[in-house]
Amino acid sequence: MDTAQNPDSDHKKTDPPSSASAYLDPNYWNQRFSNEEHYEWFKDYSHFRHLMQSHIKPNSSVLELGCGNSQLCEELYKDGITDITCIDLSSVAVERMKERLLSKGYEEIKVLEADMLDLPFSNERFDVVIEKGTMDVLFVDSGDLWNPQPATISKVMAMLEGVHKVLKPNGIFISITFGQGRRCLDDEDSIEKIQMPSISLYHEDVPAGTMLMKSKQGKHVP
Q: Which domains does the chain have, with CATH numbers?
A: 37-179+194-215 (3.40.50.150)
DSSP 8-state assignment for residue 31: H
- CA dist., res. 105 & res. 168, Å (int): 29
- 165 φψ region: left (φ > 0), alpha (ψ -120 to 50), beta (else): alpha
Higher per-residue pLDDT: 34 or 15: 34
φ/ψ of residue 99, rounded to 5: -65, -45
Dist CA 135 CA 177 (whole Å): 8
Q: Positive or negative, the Cα torsion across 114, 120, 126, 129?
A: positive
* Lowest mean per-residue pLDDT among 47-51, 60-64, 122-126, 198-202: 198-202
Q: Given pLDDT bands bounded at 50, 70 and 90, which one contains residue 117?
A: very high
Q: 77, 109 in Cβ contact below 8 A?
A: yes
pLDDT-derived band at 177 (thresholds 50, 70, 90) equals confident
Task: Please give the Cα distance from 136 to 176 (Å, whole number).
Answer: 9
Distance CA 204, CA 136 (A): 17
Least confident range from 16-20, 67-71, 80-84: namely 16-20
Dist. CA 14–CA 88, nearest whole Å: 19
The rounded distance, in Å, linking the Cα atoms of 176 and 3 is 12
CB atoms within 10 A of CB 198: 9
* Of 88, 61, 85, 55, the residue nearest 73 (C-alpha): 85
- Mean pLDDT within 11-16: 58
- 52 closest CA partner among 64, 68, 41, 66: 64
Sequence letter at residue 196: M
91-103 and 26-35 helices cross at what angle (nearest 10)?
Answer: 30
Give the three-state DSSP class for 21.
helix
Beta-bridged to residue 83, according to DSSP, are 61
User: Which residues make Cβ contacts (< 8 Å) with residue 108, sequence separation at least 6?
Assistant: 77, 82, 83, 84
- Kindly state the DSSP code that residue 209 receives in the 8-state scheme: E
Lowest average pLDDT, out of 7-16, 84-93, 132-141, 175-184, goes to 7-16
User: What is the value of pTM for the model shown?
Assistant: 0.77
Mean pLDDT for 148-158 is: 89
